[in-house]
Structure 1
Amino acid sequence: MSRSDAGGERPKGASGGRVVEIDVHMVYDVDLPTDMILQIEAAEGEGQTILSQSLSLSGAEAEAHGTGEAGIGRRSRFIVSDRLTCRYKAQVEITRPSPRLRRLAGTPLTDLPGDTIRYLMPSRYSVPSDFAATDDTLFGQKSGGAFIAAASDWISENITYSPGASTPDTTAADTFMRREGICRDFAHVLISMARARGIPARFVACYDPGVEPPDFHAVAQVWLDGGWHLVDPTGMASPESIAIIGVGLDAAEVSFLTVFGRTELVKQRVTVS
């Protein structure tokens, strides 16, 4: 399958934003017919516009497509019998400004929009009750954006970014105890701290040119002052350059590739500039 969307006459950066260029090449082998769910396409939405994109899936059979969690992004579902070769290219214009995080107010529970409530709940990798006492000890009575900024700074300063330090089973509590992890682990800790303080928080899969080494990235998104705001406790990504792929309660809901069986990674290259 090949899918291509072009921006027509619209020039790059027509709205004065930053244009992020994405190039993904992945190859996976399987021994038996295997179901897969892929979510790697940048989402069209507030603060980001798809100027052009193309997705090629060689070896994918019986394809179906649908929207991601919260109606954000696009999921592809298919069967692979031998080898999947995936190539995705996109140009995305980002017009999203960075918020003045510390100035953003929190929202009382009774005033929260109904669709934000699920992002206060425990999930596979995030159990807010594990962090209630920690929040009080580390951040006192801070609330709203001041709390989120302090929590993000604490994570950045006290948890070491260490590729290979975690596994697909590592929870936010595990990362907090071990003091090391990768982007998804950093995001899970911030999400857990936020939920424990009554701030809706969700996991965001994304691309950003500041990520080293280049790869798929993960950040948090918190509900403050009437809207969702991106926060990256690793410090590598910025709201002005993040291209969102999708959102979820945690990494389990927005994996770039979910495989229902055994697979062998042959190649994976992600380039973002």
Structure 2
Amino acid sequence: MWLRTRCELTFDFAVATPLILMLRPHGGAEQWVGREEYRLEPYVHACEFTDSYGNLCQRLTAPADDFTIVTSADVQVVERVDTAPGAPFVDIESLPDDVLIYLLPSRYCESDRFGQMAAEIAAGHTLGYDQVAAIAAWLRHRIRYVPGSSDVPISAVDVNLRQAGVCRDLSHLGIALCRGLSIPARLVVGYLHALAPMDMHAWFEAYVGGRWYTFDATQPGSAGGYVAIGYGRDAADVAIFNQFGPPANRTSQQVTVERLD
């Protein structure tokens, strides 16, 4: 399917403020970018780089007062995400070098605290994909998904204590549980068609059977419509904007995802 994504961010800055943005999708195994638009109002010079996770990032200094960022893209994505029941666990010594970092504890995914819990949740399931599917099912039934309940990332430990959270929070706990079983897992941020209420979205991927697979504990089934814009160990790596200096006053954020075909 073809989707048109659009994100408009408006800020009111007290002073000129350096920003690092992550708002451009790029082609991957399950998406193809056919058209893009990127506007800065008022216009300022910006440059782009690729971070250590392969994400397209933009650097600029926003002027004081009102500043608006508008991005739009037409992206072809899969109708249904790939599933692979029975896909095997990949031995650590066989993992690609760039996947190893997703085995380690990180700021919001304290996987060293979840080994026993993960083993209990995944008990009786075949090593690999089926274990991750069991974790996603456990999250879906045990952790309440409450959109809009938090603007600040919380760690997997806190999510487990609260038993509730936004999409990012459920993903943090899922990632920590996967890593507790020595299954590489990473956070993805982007868009999801037909998400309600519409906003930016987060889910996680696990590396089993020699590739990454999508898991989303906030959604039933395996429907597609995902557009990824950032990958990382946790929310610290995939913020759609980071600002430096006095706190940013974000006056509005509007997100739309429209099906084109």
Q: Is the 8 A contact 1:19 1:92 kept in 2?
A: yes
Q: CA, structure 1 residues 159+52, in 2 after alignment: closer, same or farther (shift >3 Å)?
A: same
Matched, 1:264 2:246: no
User: Which residue number in structure 2 is paired with residue 162 of structure 1?
Assistant: 146
RMSD: 1.8
Structure 1 position 235 matched with structure 2 position 219: yes
Deviation per CA, 1:10-40: give whole Å up to 9, x if none: xxxxxxxx11111111101110111111111
Q: Matches of 1:117 and 1:233 in 2, distance apart? A: 24
Structure-1 residue corresponding to 2:175:
191
Matched-pair contact (CA < 8 Å) for 1:216–1:270: yes
What is the TM-score of this pair, normalised by structure 2? 0.92
* 1:103 alignment partner, one of 86, 92, 99: 86
Note the C-alpha offset of 1:177: 1.1
Question: Which of the numbers 48, 63, 74 marks the counterpart of 1:81?
Answer: 63
Asked if 1:249 is matched to 2:233, the reply is yes
SS at match of 2:44: strand
Residues 26, 56 of structure 2: 8 Å contact kept = yes
Kept in 2: contact 1:36–1:78 (CA 8 A): yes
Answering whether residue 155 of structure 2 is matched by residue 171 of structure 1, we say yes
Partner letter of residue 203 of structure 2? V
Please give the secondary structure, in 2, of the residue aligned with 1:103: coil
Compute the displacement of 1:198 (Å).
Answer: 0.6
The correspondence of residues 1-273 of structure 1 with structure 2, limited to 5 A, is 18-59=1-42, 61-71=44-54, 73-82=55-64, 83-95=66-78, 97-142=80-125, 143-235=127-219, 238=222, 240-261=224-245, 262-273=247-258
Q: Distance in 1 between the 2:52 and 2:221 partners?
A: 22
Could you say what secondary structure the match of 1:66 adopts?
strand
Unaligned runs of 5+ in 1: 1-17
Q: Distance in 2 between matches of 1:229 and 1:257?
A: 26
Query: TM-score if structure 1 supplies the norm length?
Result: 0.88
Counterpart residue identity of residue 218, structure 2 = T
Q: Aligned partners of 2:225 and 2:47: how far apart in 1?
A: 30
Cα distance change on mapping 1:208 and 1:167 into 2, 3 Å: closer
Higher RCO (C-alpha 8 Å, min separation 6): 2
What is the aligned residue count?
255
| Alpha carbons 2:193, 2:257 under 8 Å: kept | yes
Q: Could you list the per-position Cα deviations for residues 202-242 of structure 1 after superposition, in whole angstroms to 9, with x for gaps in the alignment?
A: 11111111311111111101111111111111116956311
